[in-house]
Amino acid sequence: MGKLSVRDLAVRGKRVLMRVDYNVPMAEKDGQMVINDATRIKETLPTLDLLIQGGARIILAAHLGRPDGKREPSMSLRPVAAKLADMLGRPVAFSDDCIGEKASKTAEALKDGDILLLENTRFYPEEEDNEPSFAEKLAASAEIYVNDAFGAAHRAHASTAGAAGVVARRGGACAAGLLMERELKFLGDELENPARPFVVILGGAKVSDKIKVIDRLLEKADTVLVGGAMAYTFRLAQGYKTGKSLVEPDAIHVAVRALAKAADRGVRFLLPTDNVIATPFNTGKLNKKGKPVFEFRDERLNASLDIPDDCEGFDIGPATAKRYAEVIRASKTILWNGPMGMFEDSRFAASTNEVARAVAETTQKSGAKSIIGGGDSVKAINLAGLGSQVTFMSTGGGASLEFLEGSTLPGVAALSDKR
């Protein structure tokens, strides 16, 4: 059953506690914390506009960083309140405590359309413990609960789950914000009954991180295209040499099972047939974490399925990228999770960019739906300047992956069902 949407609510004069994802990247500049990228704030504006127009009295709750349950000035949300006020062109009140008398008084003084941002909920350890009395305090003056923080919905915290329970027990509605609603639509409903052919592009570092996603999507997809380092664990499972490539010998059984399931269900399952490889060279230096720093030298094409012993595979090769692009161009639904190679290094970004171009072009020219499943694939699409040409880019990292696995996210489960 679908979840209640913020669009279904009558909010005039009501105090709405809204969980948002304002975990924005910040850096210190001249002794002050400055926001480096306000995308996450911008993404909440449609829901905020709707609530403001509807006459709600808005109380925003969010976390920033990992203060480990202590008050950490560099992780204060105060600069976010100022930025949000700027972006909305209206005042945003700030309470330097997310619970207690000051927060309640400010919340109770709100007029229709006013906004209050509460201080970082993670300044209290009770937030991540989802401690009931803390959730009760956080929701003290809330009559309605809205969650627009998909990126935090896989956590059962007081602000994502507990507070919704408090509001629901009082008979208040708990609804998805517009951003959350879009995430549930594209990562959920659209993939339940996808227009076919449905292609799933999987990449990234580890097979083990994506076991459940692979397993579930093999039940939906017509074709699976595999890239990234995870492809080498599949090749290892098939008995090929993978040299020094990033492989997971412990996950070979996962690869074997996935290949068998694909064959069993008639899902076309493609692995790279050529790769860009390089020779790792230990510089003798250590990075900040004390780990040895490697340089990757002499990058070149390897057209064999075996990778030489002293080499590492860093990208799928041009023939594979071309083949993958052809499959993508013939698809009506495209789901992409994980880059095709170590795209942060431009020498190994070519195939990720080619896949990104094929996804964008197919969306624009043949009306396919393209869904980018969060994290590094979103980064890669944006880096290629194609962010505006795909149907949907998830704002979640871990949350997207868990949702695609078919798991029930606590922050979603806490919302009221649509009647």
Binding site for ligand AMP (CB under 6 A): 204-206, 209, 228-229, 246, 313-314, 338-339, 341-342, 344, 375-376
Nearer to ligand AMP, 144 or 311 (CB): 311
> Catalytic pick from 14, 15, 40, 210?
40
> Catalytic pick from 227, 375, 396, 411?
375
Nearer to ligand AMP, 44 or 352 (CB): 352
The rounded distance, in Å, linking the Cα atoms of 241 and 224 is 22
Is 105 a known active-site residue?
A: no
Nearer to ligand AMP, 67 or 338 (CB): 338
> Catalytic pick from 2, 55, 397, 398?
398
- Report the nearest approach of ligand AMP to the CB of residue 220 (Å): 20
384: which 2 tokens? 């290629």
- Report the nearest approach of ligand AMP to the CB of residue 313 (Å): 5
- How many helices (DSSP H) and strands (DSSP E) are in the chain? 17, 17
| Cβ atoms 338, 228 nearer than 8 A | yes
SS3 at position 106: helix
- Report the nearest approach of ligand AMP to the CB of residue 209 (Å): 5
CA nearest to 360, candidates 338, 328, 383, 337? 328
Nearer to ligand AMP, 199 or 202 (CB): 202
The rounded distance, in Å, linking the Cα atoms of 226 and 276 is 15
Question: Tokens 């431009």 correspond to what residue?
Answer: 346
User: Given the DSSP bridges, would you call strands 174-176 and 144-147 parallel, antiparallel or unpaired?
Assistant: parallel
Give the side-chain half-sphere CA count within 13 A for 270. Answer: 24
Of all residues in the shown chain, the one whose CB is closest to ligand AMP is 204
Nearer to ligand AMP, 165 or 313 (CB): 313
SS3 at position 289: coil
Phi, psi of 240, rounded to the nearest 5 degrees: -85, 165
- Report the nearest approach of ligand AMP to the CB of residue 264 (Å): 26
- Report the nearest approach of ligand AMP to the CB of residue 143 (Å): 40
Q: Output DSSP code: residue 186.
A: I
- Report the nearest approach of ligand AMP to the CB of residue 341 (Å): 5
Is 375 a known active-site residue?
A: yes
> Catalytic pick from 206, 216, 257, 261?
206
The rounded distance, in Å, linking the Cα atoms of 159 and 154 is 12
The rounded distance, in Å, linking the Cα atoms of 88 and 90 is 5
Is 291 a known active-site residue?
A: no
Nearer to ligand AMP, 18 or 399 (CB): 399
CA nearest to 248, candidates 275, 261, 227, 229? 229
Provide the annotated active-site residues.
Answer: 40, 206, 375, 398
